[in-house]
Amino acid sequence: LYFSAQEGILFFYHVKDLQYEMKICADILQPISSLVFSPDYTVLLLVTDQGTLYTYKPADTGEAVKLLDACSSCFLAADFLTPGNKYCVSATVSGEVQVWFLEDGTCLSKLNLDIEVHVI
């Protein structure tokens, strides 16, 4: 079980039977608004309130890696484009949908919906 508190710390709870163990995985110093696992559960996308996108690989047990910052407005949410873990799609509050290459944060495509987005 992964979750984040308001301080921007990513926590992992390993739950087995009635026992649990808590571990701090990463501290990105920004409130996290969304957590999304890749289809094969190898990469976790972290979206912050301030419009920054991070990747975290649980198997590497390293720090979260900043992938990119929002261009025109804060990210509302992000998710993986399947199949695979190479690309993700994000949506901003202002209605901009973008496709990103996760390896280096390159924006591959952009579409403006011309509406304010509330949920993705």
Q: What's the pTM value of the predicted model, to 2 decimals?
A: 0.77
Does residue 56 form part of some domain?
Answer: yes
Does residue 119 form part of some domain?
Answer: no
Q: At residue 72, does pLDDT exceed 60? A: no
Give per-residue pLDDT as tens, 5-43: 778 899 999 998 889 999 989 999 888 888 999 999 999
Q: At residue 105, does pLDDT exceed 70? A: yes
Look at residue 83 in the predicted model and tell me its pLDDT.
Answer: 83
SS (H, E, C) the chain: CEEECCCCEEEEEEEECCEEEEEEEEECCCCEEEEEECCCCCCEEEEECCCEEEEECCCCCCCCEEEEECCCCCEEEEEEECCCCCEEEEEECCCEEEEEECCCCEEEEEEECCCCCCCC
Does residue 100 form part of some domain?
Answer: yes
Say which CATH number the domain at 84 has.
2.130.10.10
Look at residue 91 in the predicted model and tell me its pLDDT.
Answer: 85
- Domain limits at 43? 2-112
Number of domains in the chain: 1
Look at residue 73 in the predicted model and tell me its pLDDT.
Answer: 59
Look at residue 70 in the predicted model and tell me its pLDDT.
Answer: 59
Look at residue 109 in the predicted model and tell me its pLDDT.
Answer: 92
Q: Per-residue confidence at 116, pLDDT binned at 50, 70, 90?
A: confident
